[in-house]
Amino acid sequence: MINTVAILIAFTLLALPSAAGQQAQQKVPPCPPSPDSPQNYPDNMIRPKYAKDALRNGTAGAVDLKAVISPDGKIKDLVVINGDPVFSLAAEAAIRKWRFCPQAPHGQPVESVYRIQVRFNPTLREANSDVKLESPPPDTPAIPTSNELRRHDLGFDIHRASEPGIVGPKPLYHPEPEFSETARKEQLQGNVDIDLVVGPDGLPRDPQIICGAEAGLDDNALASVRQWKFTSGTKDGQPIAVEIVVTVSFKLGPH
């Protein structure tokens, strides 16, 4: 089983608190799933049949589709965006047998839209599918306020990326964290958002989890982020400390 970790740098607009960190006593909210999270994948994902002539000739292909799903989880509309008709018919036939889970932001099922790509690989002699939720957007967890996220005294002024003239830090070295045994066994995936300060020397300081994925992934993400190295943020060409948020996404091997 292969795991990959996607890394996203986003600059936070949080007020900068002080006092001792007390995150251990706080409940960390779960991060919303990414649009291509397996949590959004339908049940009963029947593989499209590979056309015999295409398979015999070693022909590969891909089909992109758009599916509109009713609040009851049934397919309301399925449209081929592009793809060879030889593969499109097989992809459509299989997808119409899938069972989608209704999206229910705020607890109310709503109509949803998915983008689906089906890849036909003659070497593997099969078709594999990627599913990405386009709408509705995932619920966004509440971001801790300045009173909830308490920053250690780091001994220097901390800036925000929104300030005029700030050039934010960029990751130079970011080792991938390991999947926890629990997450690997249960095939759990998810995101962990970590607020931290990149010092003038490019090293991360005082990382704190904003939202997590549990199953041991939070601790592994935090341990990995502590080893990261960044280009230092600058203002007027001078190195400064900048507060940022990084997202570590744990993903299992290709579906």
Q: What is the pLDDT of residues 40-66, one digit of tens each?
A: 788 889 999 999 999 999 999 999 999
Give the chain's mean pLDDT.
82
| 146 and 109 together in one domain | no
3-state secondary structure of 219: helix
Same domain, 178 and 245: yes
Query: What is the mean predicted confidence (pLDDT) over 30-36?
Result: 71
Residue 166 has pLDDT above 60, yes or no: yes
> Which of 5-19, 162-176, 177-191, 199-213 shows the lowest mean pLDDT across its residues?
5-19
Q: How many domains are there within the chain? A: 2
Q: What is the CATH number of the domain that holds 216?
A: 3.30.2420.10
Task: Dump strand ranges (E) for the chain.
Answer: 3-10, 61-69, 75-82, 112-121, 126-135, 158-160, 166-167, 171-173, 190-198, 204-211, 229-230, 233-235, 238-252
CA angle 82, 249, 204 (to 5 degrees): 135
Residues 179 and 234 in one domain: yes
Residues 151, 131, single domain; the answer is no
Are residues 147 and 248 part of one domain?
yes
Same structural domain for residues 115 and 144? no
Q: Given a cut of 60, is residue 238 above it in pLDDT?
A: yes
Domain that holds residue 81: 38-135
Q: What are phi and psi of 183, to 5 degrees?
A: -65, -40
Percent of the chain with pLDDT over 70: 79
Same domain flag for 114 and 214: no
Checking if the pLDDT of 24 tops 80, the result is no
H helix and E strand count, the chain:
4, 13
Four-CA torsion 246, 204, 241, 156, nearest 10 degrees: 140
- Separation CA 243–CA 196 (nearest Å): 6
Name which of 234, 249, 226 is nearest 173 in CA terms: 226
Residue 62 β-bridge partners: 119
Q: Tell whether 21 and 119 lie within a shared domain.
A: no
Task: Show which of 114, 135, 156 is a domain's final residue.
Answer: 135
Q: Please state, as a whole number, how many other Cβ atoms lie within 10 Å of the Cβ of residue 24.
A: 6
Give CA–CA dist 99/68, Å, rounded.
Answer: 12
First to last CA, the chain: 11
Looking at the structure, do residues 22 and 123 belong to the same domain, yes or no? Answer: no
Same domain assignment for residues 104 and 180: no
Q: What is the pLDDT of residue 27?
A: 73
Q: What percent of the chain has pLDDT over 90?
A: 49
Q: Do residues 125 and 147 share a domain?
A: no
**Of 85, 113, 135, which marks where a domain is finished?**
135
Most distant CA pair in the chain: distance in Å?
A: 69
The pLDDT-based confidence of 21 (bands split at 50, 70, 90) is very low
Q: Examine the domain organization and report whether 145 and 28 are in the same domain.
A: yes
Q: How many residues does the chain have?
A: 255
Question: With 60 as the cut, is the pLDDT of residue 145 above it?
Answer: no
Give the residue among 175, 224, 169 at the shortest CA–CA distance from 202: 169
- Look at residues 104, 135, 166 and tell me which one is the last residue of a structural domain: 135
Residue 200 in this model has a pLDDT that exceeds 90: yes
